Chain A
Amino acid sequence: MMAELTALLTHPLAQMVLALAAILAFLGVNGLVLLYAERKVAGFIQRRPGPYEVGPHGLLQPFADAGKLMSKQLVAPMGADRLLFWLAPLVSLAPVVVCFLPIPFSPLLTGMDVNLGLLLILAFSGLNTLALCLAGWGSNSKYSLLGAARAVAQSVAYEIPLLLAVLAVAFQVGSLDLSAIAATQAKGLLSWNVFVQPLAFAVFFISAVAETNRAPFDLPEAESELTAGFHTEYSGMGFGIFFLAEYSYMVVVCAVATALFLGGWDGPLVPGPWWFLGKVFALVFALMWFRWTFPRVRFDQLLNVCWKWLIPLGLANLVATALLVKWVG
């Protein structure tokens, strides 16, 4: 009996299901934590206390917000394509769960060891664009449509430099397995890829901000022009799920950045997973910092940055890495 249970639990499929369940729990908690953190960070930057009334230091504010969002009536605008309209938030959130599978929180704490982990993440995170597109199209609103058009152009453009930066690291290590890439950086601070590949890190992080639609690149939801862009017509949990997905994608890109460039779980004193989470949330904090201090760029400027700077830089970096790997070994 015991042996059967062990066999069942160690079966790859069972492990995957367990990991997915754990990830879902993590995403829920993460959403609440980041919601609170974002508002407190915004408060700190804007020299105000932020949420303070619900619970001690406003700690229960995210629960109040979540309760409010969940209890709201689901309203679809007149003339909306109801199927696509309600499908969009789900399409946005579902792939992000898979994206967490190959992320190495520590050598042991990895949802699923896939040797194509990076590819898996890039493939599934690309689905988010589809969700924004569906939301924009299904809403039957002009603002949403404009937001969706922006989202598609932006995501397609910024996926390229993102890929170029990731490829440079993959060339250097010779693997697409995130655990393996992180493991090569476990030899102390100077072995971290951010020092070996600083240009790739810069390209990756800037592209990541654009890929997650965060300010100053939050054009698909540019409030002052498009009211709320692709999610203008969403209320209640429709909006809530988009929100959760946005925060989850933030964590995914920051986790990938940590594994690729910041040494993964490497660090002294405390166990690896803490170091990993600490680095991830430090990067998330940087994203919040950007949002509350920068004005928004214009759409053509955004694409210019991508096509005129990031892609050439990423290409040059990739070629240089390839040559070095070839000649130096």
Chain B
Amino acid sequence: MSQDANARLTGDFYTAPFGPRIEEEGDTLILNMGPQHPATHGVLRVIVELDGEYIRRAEPVLGYIHRMHEKMGEVKSWVQYLPNMGRVDYLHALAWNWAYVGAVEKLMGLAVPPRAEYIRVITCELNRINSHLLWWGAYLLDLGAFTPIVYAFADRERIMDLLQMVTGSRLTYCYYRFGGVSADLGDEFIRGTHEFVADFRKRLPMYRGLVTDNMILRGRCEEIGVLSPETARRYGATGPVLRGSGVAYDVRRAEPYSVYDRLDFTVPTGRNGDAMDRYEVRMEEMNQCLRIIEQALEALPDGAHIAPDLSERLLPPKGEVYFAVEGARGKIGVYLLSDGGPTPYRVKLRAPGFSNLSLFAELAQGTLLADAVSILGSLDLVIPEIDR
């Protein structure tokens, strides 16, 4: 390869003209995957340059579902901005709820009643299982297995029914409030959650027997998209993607918030950092979620579910604050800058998917097209969260 061509490889698709390259180096093909493509789940667009079926370079193109969530924060009042959070990442909406609500509480120094903290833990973990289940089904769909997603949806249905009981919605939750949650848990919810935990604990081994130990699946995941801890750190990857590479970094343990330091759970990690490890980490996380939910239900104290005597018109003091929680995809961070006015002065949302996606170009280089789809799926991307 000439030095000139080498220099072009380091550029992106816009700075490197690809027209003449094809003539120079022969058999490459530029393939445009997306924004409408079955494997990009939503509106991600990936341009890949193929040599046969091997990927020379791949580049994600973002912005097809950019909705200006951060800018919206500057014009909406503190309370009005809450529903936006359920729509940033619709799969783990409650974690985003929590990140924003937690940031405002930290800014105002607002105390949350213990019952509300436990309610948040229970609902957030249920939501995490929900998110992981959808990832599980969709990932296997990427690998060509049609049936698991239907099984996943059967379980998801139960979780959504439970969360609907307390939050009133099924997907884009807006449940947490400054200083608590909007509604208290009922007996029916608690009973239903106990039943769900018991049943789902039996479903997980079934999933393993049906899918995880399948030879074909292992062939498609093992040693595919191996991510070293150094690379993961370099890109700022978090969540199961980072833990799959063997780094036991979980915000719930590293920077404990709420009552997580009082709950007993382990942070599962992988060894090789391949797609299978990321898969296993997520499956084990669902198991740990069940443990957390059980303990939280056990320890659920009585009392108020929301801090009393909050003024109608919330005016946090001047200052800046950063609050991070562990979402299903990694570290969700909300940075707020307040000038003491009725709206935030500046909002910055740190979406874990953005960092995780940026790994893709490096991981996909030199792999087969089918492997790239497997890698893309194993990163568990939610495009609205990435584009914000």
User: Does B154 lie within 8 Å of A222, measured CB to CB?
Assistant: no
The interface residues of chain A lying within 8 Å CB-to-CB of B151 are 46-47
Which residue of A48, A146, A216, A299 is within 8 Å of B216 (Cβ)?
A216
The number of residues on chain A lying at the interface, defined by a beta carbon within 8 Å of a beta carbon of chain B, is 28
In the complex, residue of chain B having the shortest beta-carbon distance to the beta carbon of A300: B368
Assuming A142-B31, A298-B368, A299-B370, is B144 touching A48 (CB within 8 A)?
Answer: no
> Is residue A6 contacting chain B, with contact meaning CB distance below 8 A?
no
| Distance between Cα atoms of A225 and B150 in the complex (Å) | 21
Assuming A294-B214, A296-B144, A296-B216, is B370 touching A222 (CB within 8 A)?
Answer: yes
Q: Which of A262-295 contact B (CB under 8 A)?
A: 291-295
Q: Which of A223-282 contact B (CB under 8 A)?
A: 223-227
User: Does B38 lie within 8 Å of A223, measured CB to CB?
Assistant: yes
Q: State which of B15-23, B135-143, B183-191, B378-386 sits at the interface with chain A.
A: B135-143
In the complex, residue of chain A having the shortest beta-carbon distance to the beta carbon of B144: A296
> Is residue B220 contacting chain A, with contact meaning CB distance below 8 A?
yes
> Is residue A162 contacting chain B, with contact meaning CB distance below 8 A?
no
User: Does A146 lie within 8 Å of B144, measured CB to CB?
Assistant: no
The interface residues of chain A lying within 8 Å CB-to-CB of B147 are 45-46, 292-293
User: Does A294 lie within 8 Å of B216, measured CB to CB?
Assistant: yes
Min Cβ gap B217→A in Å is: 5
The number of residues on chain B lying at the interface, defined by a beta carbon within 8 Å of a beta carbon of chain A, is 28
| Distance between Cα atoms of A225 and B151 in the complex (Å) | 23
The interface residues of chain B lying within 8 Å CB-to-CB of A45 are 147
The interface residues of chain A lying within 8 Å CB-to-CB of B53 are 146, 299
| Distance between Cα atoms of A123 and B305 in the complex (Å) | 75
> Is residue A218 contacting chain B, with contact meaning CB distance below 8 A?
yes
Min Cβ gap B291→A in Å is: 28
User: Does A295 lie within 8 Å of B216, measured CB to CB?
Assistant: yes
> Is residue A200 contacting chain B, with contact meaning CB distance below 8 A?
no
> Is residue A215 contacting chain B, with contact meaning CB distance below 8 A?
yes
The interface residues of chain A lying within 8 Å CB-to-CB of B38 are 223-224, 227
In the complex, residue of chain B having the shortest beta-carbon distance to the beta carbon of A150: B53
In the complex, residue of chain B having the shortest beta-carbon distance to the beta carbon of A43: B150
Which residue of A42, A46, A216 is within 8 Å of B144 (Cβ)?
A216
Min Cβ gap B77→A in Å is: 43
> Is residue A9 contacting chain B, with contact meaning CB distance below 8 A?
no
Q: Which of B140-160 contact A (CB under 8 A)?
A: 140-147, 150-151, 154
In the complex, residue of chain A having the shortest beta-carbon distance to the beta carbon of B376: A224
User: Does B146 lie within 8 Å of A42, measured CB to CB?
Assistant: yes
Assuming A223-B144, A224-B144, is B214 touching A295 (CB within 8 A)?
Answer: yes
Q: Most A CB atoms within 10 A — which of B39, B143, B146, B373? A: B146
> Is residue B209 contacting chain A, with contact meaning CB distance below 8 A?
no
| Distance between Cα atoms of A146 and B29 in the complex (Å) | 10
User: Does B144 lie within 8 Å of A295, measured CB to CB?
Assistant: yes
Min Cβ gap B157→A in Å is: 12
The interface residues of chain A lying within 8 Å CB-to-CB of B146 are 42, 46, 291-292
> Is residue B37 contacting chain A, with contact meaning CB distance below 8 A?
yes
> Is residue A73 contacting chain B, with contact meaning CB distance below 8 A?
no
> Is residue B361 contacting chain A, with contact meaning CB distance below 8 A?
no
The interface residues of chain B lying within 8 Å CB-to-CB of A218 are 144
User: Does B214 lie within 8 Å of A224, measured CB to CB?
Assistant: no
**How would residues 15 to 48 of chain A score, 1 for a CB under 8 Å from any chain B CB and 0 otherwise?**
0000000000000000000000000001001111
> Is residue A301 contacting chain B, with contact meaning CB distance below 8 A?
yes
| Distance between Cα atoms of A298 and B217 in the complex (Å) | 10
The interface residues of chain A lying within 8 Å CB-to-CB of B216 are 216, 294-297, 301
User: Does B217 lie within 8 Å of A225, measured CB to CB?
Assistant: no
The interface residues of chain B lying within 8 Å CB-to-CB of A300 are 368
| Distance between Cα atoms of A48 and B368 in the complex (Å) | 35
Given contact pairs A45-B147, A218-B144, A223-B38, a sample of 4 additional A-B residue pairs in the complex whose CB atoms are under 8 Å apart: A223-B144, A224-B39, A296-B220, A299-B368
23 sample A-B contacts, Cβ–Cβ < 8 Å, listed by A number: A46-B151, A47-B154, A48-B150, A142-B31, A146-B50, A146-B53, A222-B144, A223-B38, A225-B370, A227-B37, A227-B38, A292-B146, A294-B145, A294-B216, A295-B140, A295-B145, A295-B220, A296-B143, A296-B216, A296-B220, A299-B368, A300-B368, A301-B219
Q: Which residues of B contact A (CB under 8 A)?
A: 29, 31, 37-39, 50, 53, 140-147, 150-151, 154, 214, 216-217, 219-220, 368-371, 373
Top 5 closest pairs, chain A to chain B, by CB: A296-B144, A295-B145, A46-B150, A295-B143, A224-B39
